[in-house]
Copies of this chain bind each other. A is one copy, B any other.
């Protein structure tokens, strides 16, 4: 291996592995609960959250891709699967040429209403009730800094 790699220190390695473990376990716990409560996967739930956030209960595929930070093709495939379970419906919008809307169905609305209270209670119990206000603030700072880094430097500064 290249000798000029700055390997992680033992403490960095420990933090990084704990973080990976935490995310794997937290997401497994939340997924299992969504499945048990409302037969929803975590991606289903995310899609439904964004649809219910919109007053009309509908969002264009392109906008969903941006909101979810998914590739457009992944949104499209996932919506097709949710459509076959009648959780959402795709409504073509030929006249403006800006692509189809994804609309939440009554069954989709019932599913998220069934899932949301337990999901939020678990997120609260496992994360927000455990952390002090200062730790929540630190988490916000840490998250924002890493996201800025992921986005790369603003244009004109490269």
Q: Is A139 among interface residues, defined by CB-CB distance under 8 A? A: yes
Q: Does A63 contact B (CB under 8 A)?
A: no
Q: Among residues 121 to 149 in chain A, which have CB atoms less than 8 Å away from a CB atom of chain B?
A: 121, 123-128, 130-131, 135-136, 138-149
Copies in the complex: 2
Report the bound CA distance from A140 to B18 in whole Å. 8
Residues of B within 8 A of A146 (CB): 22, 26, 126-127, 130-131
B126 touches A5 (CB 8 A): no
Q: How far is the CB of A104 from chain B (nearest CB, A)?
A: 15
Establish whether residues B123 and A1, one from each chain, have CB atoms under 8 Å apart when the complex forms: no
The answer, among B69, B128, B149, for a CB contact under 8 Å with A21, is B69
Indicate which residue in B12, B29, B69, B142 contacts A138 across the interface (CB closer than 8 Å): B142
Whether the pair A25, B69 counts as a contact (CB closer than 8 A) is: yes
Known contacts A143-B15, A146-B130; is A120 also within 8 Å of B8 by CB? Answer: yes
A21 contact set on B, CB distance < 8 A:
69, 147
Instruction: For the complex, give the distance between the alpha carbons of A21 and B67 in Å.
Output: 10
A7–B121 Cα distance when bound, in Å, is: 8
- 19 A-B pairs within 8 Å (CB atoms) are namely A1-B116, A1-B117, A6-B121, A8-B123, A8-B124, A8-B128, A15-B143, A18-B140, A21-B69, A21-B147, A23-B27, A25-B69, A25-B150, A29-B150, A130-B149, A131-B142, A131-B146, A135-B141, A135-B142
